[in-house]
């Protein structure tokens, strides 16, 4: 199940995305005690993996749906991805953003043609505002992570990584809303050879870790993490996929995230955002688990606020 859907998704979005490079670093391999292959979605169009899921979901809409437009809620990366994907497809994009979203991200959305409606910085307010737009415009709602076409689109990052390195032992991705790790888990299951999927998550926003333990979707009790892209919680579409196909989730501290982020900036000379550093922090945290293994890591994005660097 989903094998053909992943292949079809990749074929569908190919003209609209970059096939991002996979980089390695001898020094980081030594630090990890393993072979690490970084899939650089920080080089993706609009700077993050979310371009994949947004493009896939929009391209799958009917002509009738496209005529009425799309609506989503997001504080940043998915807002930009939907705006750009909609523009590419000639579709109107309505974007609900919390009032405290960074101005730089709002500017990016506007530059891609997205029409912003601001709301209170609460999950409930985001959804209520999006629902209102759906009711008045008839636009199709796209959830940033809890939508099967979005999940399959995000999973194409893992699929490309496995096409280039089919012998990976582990595939790692950060866990926020769960769309990327669910898509990667499907890719690892269908295209890997005994490849296990592991999620990396901040200890300060550990809802997915607790959800896997309890068997029900838990909410974040805190979200005081520098990994701002991972403050959201799982959904009822991606959680069953995660339960079935994700091997485990490793929690990392804020200090570990900053250290991993700094290492990648310094040693690989590439810009990544804090959320992006979480899986590598997880690898460094568990040296015995990953010793002498081949590891694929999806570097999720590079949309970092340079005024707020943690180092």
Question: Alpha helices of 39-102 — where are they, by DSSP H?
Answer: 50-59, 63-68, 77-89
225/108 same-domain check: no
* Lookup result for tokens 């609209």: 16
184/268 same-domain check: yes
Q: Which of 141, 169, 191 is the last residue before a domain boundary?
A: 141
pLDDT in tens, 239-258: 999 999 999 999 999 999 99
CB-based contacts of 297, cutoff 8 Å, min separation 6? 36, 37, 38, 39, 171, 172, 173, 279, 280, 283
Residue 258 is part of which domain span? 3-47+147-308
Name which of 52, 117, 118, 116 is nearest 88 in CA terms. 52
pLDDT in tens, 67-122: 999 999 998 899 999 999 999 999 999 999 989 887 878 999 999 999 999 999 88
190/257 same-domain check: yes
190/236 same-domain check: yes
40/172 same-domain check: yes
Tokens of 250: 């490793």
pLDDT in tens, 137-180: 999 999 999 999 999 999 999 999 999 999 999 999 999 999 99
| CA distance linking residue 74 with residue 236, whole number of Å | 18
Question: How long is the chain?
Answer: 311
Task: Count Cα atoms within 13 angstroms, Cβ side, for 173.
Answer: 37
190/247 same-domain check: yes
Q: Which of 141, 159, 189 is the last residue before a domain boundary?
A: 141
126/160 same-domain check: no
pLDDT in tens, 21-77: 999 999 999 999 999 999 999 999 999 999 999 999 999 999 999 999 999 999 889
Residue 103 sits in a domain whose CATH number is 3.40.50.1100
Name which of 16, 12, 1, 167 is nearest 90 in CA terms. 16
Q: Which of 115, 141, 167 is the last residue before a domain boundary?
A: 141
- Indicate if the pLDDT at residue 222 is higher than 90: no
């Amino acid at each position: 199940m989903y094998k053909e859907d992943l292949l079809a998704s990749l074929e569908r979005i190919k003209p609209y995305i970059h096939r991002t490079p996979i980089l390695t670093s001898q020094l980081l391999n030594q630090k990890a005690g393993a072979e690490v292959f970084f899939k650089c979605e920080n080089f993706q169009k609009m700077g993050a993996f979310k371009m994949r899921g947004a493009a896939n979901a929009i391209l799958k809409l009917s002509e009738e749906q496209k005529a009425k437009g799309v609506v989503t809620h997001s504080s940043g990366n998915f807002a930009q991805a939907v705006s750009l994907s909609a523009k590419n497809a000639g579709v109107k994009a309505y974007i609900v953003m919390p009032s405290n979203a960074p101005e730089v991200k709002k500017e990016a959305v506007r530059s891609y043609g997205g029409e912003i409606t601001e709301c209170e910085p609460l999950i409930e307010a985001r959804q209520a505002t999006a629902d209102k737009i759906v009711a008045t415009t008839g636009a199709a709602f796209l959830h940033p992570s809890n939508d099967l076409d979005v999940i399959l689109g995000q999973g194409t990052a893992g699929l490309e990584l496995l096409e280039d390195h089919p012998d990976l032992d582990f595939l790692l991705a950060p866990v926020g809303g769960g769309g990327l790790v669910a898509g990667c888990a499907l890719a690892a299951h269908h295209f890997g050879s005994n490849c296990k999927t592991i999620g990396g998550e901040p200890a300060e926003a550990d809802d997915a870790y607790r959800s896997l333990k309890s068997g029900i979707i838990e909410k974040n009790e805190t979200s005081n993490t520098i990994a701002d892209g991972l403050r959201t919680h799982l959904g009822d579409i991606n959680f069953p996929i995660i339960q079935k196909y994700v091997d485990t989730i490793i929690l990392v501290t804020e200090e570990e995230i900053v250290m991993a982020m700094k290492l990648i900036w310094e040693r690989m000379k590439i810009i990544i955002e804090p959320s992006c550093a979480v899986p590598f922090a997880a690898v460094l945290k568990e040296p015995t688990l990953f010793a002498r293994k081949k590891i694929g890591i999806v570097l999720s994005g590079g949309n970092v606020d340079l005024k707020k660097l943690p180092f």
